[in-house]
Structure 1
């Protein structure tokens, strides 16, 4: 089983116990406003998401980790890697992403988890390059990408929803660990 320990977090595969807290995160309109069409997701949709994330682990050898706080055992959200099928123009690049519950914002957890995922991508999984994609105006995600050493690469438009997207990237030669 793939797990990553950071000073404050455990990044691990998903369990049944993660469904309810992840569904609670996905049900928060403030969390979801930058994602997809901005709609919240219910328990059934979240179960389908987790199933899809686990399948990606099996198919690709990487995926989205459940992010657990070491101090409390609480599920904070996710961070990990995925194939950004929704934006074919960036393929075959792999995307790094994260989503944390609002009560976990502003404490450095997203950056801590994302750093661990980036190291996993470049060193453990041997990826040469990783992209980060966010909706224009999502300054919190842009700040995490900047902390990772990612640089803005291009602006584009979401093919389904039509809003502007920012694509950031980093490759192995730029990564300082």
Structure 2
């Protein structure tokens, strides 16, 4: 079941989360250029959608949709920045995976980090915070994660988070093979 997050004075509409080395915050206009640079990297985009690098225009449109999701649903993608440097390293958050109708209704946890931030444990660290947000603040009963079958790095993060393999399928729009993983709130609480 997907529920809208209940807001109270203790739970601001646009929350911020903190992990050990990361600040998960809302987006600013200054984030567009570093985000567009990340999305233009062919290695970063290798397993995203049809695998083509993004353009600045596509990134700007995605950023606008991300902001709108926070307003509509009470959750979305957080900008992820290194606490020590204040540098944007990518995003981690929650989205509705409408591109994969067979698993709907669902909310997906996902991430995209700049290449120089790979291999440092940032995705796992931030995703743990987002799972806590999803189950405790938003009130979701279940989350999924979807990754390309060849994206072994993301599959390792997903496994560390405790999600279980649900199925292997193809994205209708471009035919890419993906694995779907899932975790319920009860499973999350039992593992935490």
TM-score normalised by structure 2 residue count: 0.91
Shift of 1:163: 2.0
Of 40-49 and 126-135, the range deviating more from structure 2? 40-49
Match of 2:168 among 121, 141, 155: 155
- 1:81-106 residue CA offsets vs partner (Å, 9 max, x unmatched): 00111011111110000000000000
The CA RMSD over aligned residues, in Å, is 0.7
SS at match of 1:14: coil
The ranges of structure 1 where at least 4 consecutive aligned residues each deviate by more than 3 angstroms after the TM superposition are none
Shift of 1:8: 0.4
User: Tell me, which stretches of 5 or more residues in structure 2 are unaligned?
Assistant: 1-13
Structure 2 counterparts to residues 32-47 of structure 1, below 5 A: 32-47=45-60
- 1:8-58 residue CA offsets vs partner (Å, 9 max, x unmatched): 000011001100100110010000000001111121211111000010111
Distance 1:158 1:46 in 2: 21
Distance 2:49 2:55 in 1: 14
Q: Tell me how many residue pairs correspond in the alignment.
A: 177
Distance 2:153 2:77 in 1: 19
User: Tell me, which stretches of 5 or more residues in structure 1 are unaligned?
Assistant: none
Bigger relative contact order, structure 1 or 2, given CA contacts below 8 A and separation 6+?
A: 2
Match of 1:146 among 146, 151, 159: 159
* 2:22 corresponding residue in structure 1: 9
Distance 1:58 1:138 in 2: 31
